[in-house]
Amino acid sequence: MQSTKYIWQNGEMKLWEEVKVHVLSHSIHYGSGVFEGIRAYETEKGPVIFRLGEHIDRLYYSAGAIKMKMPWTKEEFKNAVIETVRINELKQGYIRPLIYYGYGELRISPLGCPVEAIIAAWPWGKYLSADPIKVKVADYIRIHPKSSVTDAKICGHYVNSILSFLQVNSEGYDEALLLDFNGNIAEGPGENFFLAKEGKLVTPLLGNILAGITRQSIIELARDLGYETEERIVLLEEALAADECFFTGTAAEVTPIGSINGQLIANGKIGAITGKLNEEFMRIVAGENEKYSKWLTYV
């Protein structure tokens, strides 16, 4: 991981190597933090941050899910993200805002702990390096929707993702695919799932998945390009018989899936729809499509 010079912490810019968090912080012990993954992209007019407003809205929604009283307004936090990118002279890369319960008490209840935050930004290229990737259905299911606020981006949820990835990676796969409690497709450990069949896109319904911002962007883009797109229950058998499958996410962007459980998806190559969506998405984040300029915040 490539570092930059500064990290914003609790309203101050600090040197990367000098940022500290107490070892008895509540979030370290119980996963009681919330975070976002946001990307910055290089354009001819300078760096842009993709869908910053939507990411901050979701961050604050997640914080509310675990009763955090935010010391900063959304506008203040947005400006802090922009300033972190600017001061680090980051042209393109990844931004990680994290809000966490700090050092106060170590009971399960975090309510006696201060709410603290950091914003880091650094260069980061492709998240999943294979193209297309090999995916396997994990033995672990996606968190049950009555077990937590499953559409919030809470740190502790990602133990589910870690276990899933470690299992399939040890068996030679690039990424996991998680089913829900009914045995239907939910999502990847850090990505949303799409399939294409006979020119039509299908993606799992909200309710047992993260409401991905890239997911929603791709749905909107696909419809604008004339692809019928449906949000519904998706069976594993449908994915195996699909013409194309791909993941979406801030880190993953649009990542084609070549096989699931060792079975090729069609010919195992990048499909025409996946390729087109990826091409158009990268044009958007490069500032080359004015129609979607509302998604870009210039630094």
Give yes or no: 153 in active site: yes
- Planar angle of CA 114, 76, 214, nearest 5 degrees: 95
Neighbour-count burial of 182, counting CB atoms closer than 10 A to its CB (0-12 exposed, 13-18 middle, 19+ buried): exposed
CA distance 248 to 84: 25
Helix (H, G, I), strand (E, B) or coil at 101: strand
Contact 73, 11 (CB under 8 A): no
Helix axes 74-87, 52-65, angle to 10 degrees: 120
Task: Catalytic residue, from 78, 134, 136, 153: name it.
Answer: 153
**292 closest CA partner among 41, 22, 15:** 41
**299 closest CA partner among 74, 72, 38, 125:** 38
Q: For residue 75, which amino acid is it?
A: E
What does the buried/exposed string (b/e) look like for 61-95 if buried means 16 or more CB atoms within 10 Å of the residue's CB?
Answer: ebbebbebeeebeeeebbebbbbbbeebebebbbb
Residues with a catalytic annotation lie at: 153
